[in-house]
A = this chain, B = another copy of it.
Amino acid sequence: MSRSTDTWILTAQCPSRLGTVDVVTRFLKENRCYITEQQSFDDSLAERFFIRTEFRPQDPDFDAQAFQAGFATRAEGFEMTFELTAPEARTPVVIMVSKADHCLNDLLYRYRTGQLPLDIRAVVSNHPDLQPLADWHGLPYYHFPITPETKAEQEARVWGVIEESGAELVILARYMQVLSSEMCERLAGRAINIHHSLLPGFKGARPYHQAYEKGVKLVGATAHYINDDLDEGPIITQGVEPVGHADYPEDLVTKGRDIECLTLARAVGYHLERRVFLHRRRTVVFSR
């Protein structure tokens, strides 16, 4: 698991075809790259191939640009898209929150201790409440209030921060606003949301209250990519927690917090380690 400081990641996907693994592994061999871990999967229903490789270049003067240029030529013949990730890469991120702080607190802890290789550029909220938490971690905090009238304008300001910060990933850590479909489109595939139910079980607002009404014996959380269909984006991972008759709706809210934190952190970790592949409405996750 623990990537040493000299381990690179190569991920790729393309249509199913004979030789998809070989084109990757042969190139790595030719470039004297030592493979420490590899997983590939060929989805026979979607007819799509996915591969993830961790490797250590054997030559001290490994040239990433040359590697990419060289591999691009090979990949082309397979209509293969790929990404090369450097050992110490930290993904630039913007985190969006409202008032609930448990997911933010958890992410910032993992950020501070280096458990998640994030480069947090900003925390954005429609409320001022979580500013002290951001401050303590030395992070810029943008408070953009929102009303039905100012929604478009507010989203434009949020988008401005995302753009200017150079964020590659947006984490919605219990951001309690419904994004406009324009915003969803812009964020499609590059924003992770945590929904506090086992989607597609309880969509929409107050899922724990819905769950209570139905008398369920398990509650859960779903981390998924944003796409154009609210609460229907491709699922990355899900977590679950047993509940009982003595748990009133407010207890479910409390009980759900831990599983929300863990599920979101796991999804973000998978994304940062390039373990998640997005294809249409489903994901391939090479977890461990």
Residues of A at under 8 Å CB distance from B? 1-2, 4, 18-22, 25-26, 28-29, 32, 34-45, 58, 101-102, 105, 109, 113, 115, 136, 198-202, 214-218, 220, 234-238, 240, 244-248, 250-251, 254-255, 257-258, 262, 281-285, 287-288
Contacts and interface: CB of A to CB of B under 8 A. Distances in A.
Contacts of A2: 248, 250-251, 254
B245 A282 contact: yes
Contacts of A220: 218
User: How many copies of this kind of chain does the complex include?
Assistant: 4
Contacts of A34: 18, 42
Contacts of A240: 218, 240
Contact of A258 (B235, B257, B262): B262
List the 6 closest pairs (A to B, CB-CB), nearest first.
A215-B282, A22-B29, A1-B251, A245-B284, A201-B201, A38-B40
A237 B58 CA distance: 35
Contacts of A254: 1-2, 115
Contact of A102 (B113, B216, B217): B113
Contacts of A18: 29, 32, 34, 58
A283 B37 contact: no
B246 A217 contact: no
A255 B37 CA distance: 19
B32 A42 contact: no
B109 A105 contact: yes
Given A101-B113, A216-B238, 17 more contacts: A1-B247, A1-B254, A21-B28, A25-B25, A25-B26, A34-B42, A36-B41, A37-B40, A38-B39, A115-B254, A115-B257, A200-B202, A201-B201, A215-B235, A216-B235, A218-B238, A240-B240
A181 to B, nearest CB: 20
Contacts of A236: 217
Contacts of A22: 25-26, 28-29
9 contacts: A2-B254, A20-B35, A26-B26, A37-B40, A45-B248, A200-B201, A200-B214, A215-B283, A217-B235
Contact of A246 (B35, B41, B102, B237): B41
A104 to B, nearest CB: 11
A246 B247 CA distance: 22
A20 B55 CA distance: 12
Nearest to A267: B217
A255 to B, nearest CB: 8
Nearest to A44: B36
Contacts of A282: 215, 245
A4 to B, nearest CB: 8
A99 B245 CA distance: 34
